[in-house]
Amino acid sequence: MESLNLPTYEFRTAERDGKRTVYDPVRDRYVRLTPEEWVRQHFVQYLVQALNVPAGLVAVEAAFEFQGQPQRADIIVHDQRGEPLLLVECKAPRVSIGQDAFDQGARYNLVLGAPYLVVTNGQTHYACAIDFENRSYTFLDDLPPYAALLE
C-alpha cells in the first residue's frame, strides 16, 4: 500500500478468499484491504491514538439516508450523547481532494450535522469547522484533540 501522511500504525492483515484483508477493530471484523480502506484504517487510528477520541464513539461506514438514497459515511465521531461531532470522508491516496470530494462530505454533513468535517486521501487532509447558523465554514490548520472538539 502507498505511504500516507499519517503516523504509521500496526494492522492485522490476512488473506481471505484470495483477497487481502485488514482487521477493523471498530467493526470487529476483517474487511477487504482497498486503498481507501488503508486510508480509513489509518485515520481511525490517528483519531484514537493521536487525538484521544474514545474508540467506542467512532463509527466506520455508518449507514444513513441522503435524499431518500442509502449512503455510508466513512468515519463518524460522536460526542458522549451520541450526536455526530466529526465526519471524515476518505478517498484512496491516488484520488485528488478536489471540490467533488469536499462537496460529497458537505452533502453528507447536511444530514448528519457534525460541527467538524475532514476530507482526506491519506496524503492531503482538509479539516474545517462548520457554522450551521451562519451557513459558513472555517478551514483549520490542524484537527484538534477530541476534548477540544467538544468545546
In tens, the pLDDT along 107-151 reads 889 889 999 999 999 999 999 999 989 988 999 999 999 999 998
Burial of 23 (0-12, 13-18, 19+ CB in 10 A): middle
Rounded mean pLDDT, 25-30: 96
Whole-number Å distance between alpha carbons of 43 and 52: 12
Rounded mean pLDDT, 89-101: 94
Output phi, psi for 65, to 5 deg.
-110, 140
Highest mean pLDDT among 58-72, 73-87, 98-112, 126-140: 73-87
Determine the residue type at 58: V
Query: How many domains does the chain fold into?
Result: 1
Residue 3 lies in a domain: no
Cβ–Cβ contacts within 10 Å for residue 102, how many? Answer: 16
Residue 4 lies in a domain: no
Check pLDDT > 90 for residue 36: yes
Element (DSSP H or E) covering residue 84: strand 84-90
Check pLDDT > 90 for residue 1: no
List, as own/partner pairs, every contact residues 9-16 make where C-beta atoms lie below 8 angstroms and the sequence separation is at least 24, other chains included. 9/41, 9/42, 9/45, 9/46, 9/49, 11/41
Residue 8 lies in a domain: no
At 2 the pLDDT is 86
In tens, the pLDDT along 6-24 reads 999 999 999 999 999 999 9
Element (DSSP H or E) covering residue 39: helix 35-45
Rounded mean pLDDT, 66-75: 91
Residue 34 lies in a domain: yes
Share of the chain above pLDDT 90, in %: 79
Residue 54's domain comprises: 13-149
Check pLDDT > 90 for residue 102: no
Residue 124 lies in a domain: yes
Rg of the chain over all Cα atoms, to the nearest angstrom = 15
Residue 37 lies in a domain: yes
Residue 6 lies in a domain: no
Residue 116 · residue 129 · CB < 8 Å: yes
Rounded mean pLDDT, 40-67: 96
Residue 107 lies in a domain: yes
CATH number for position 49: 3.90.1570.30
At 74 the pLDDT is 96
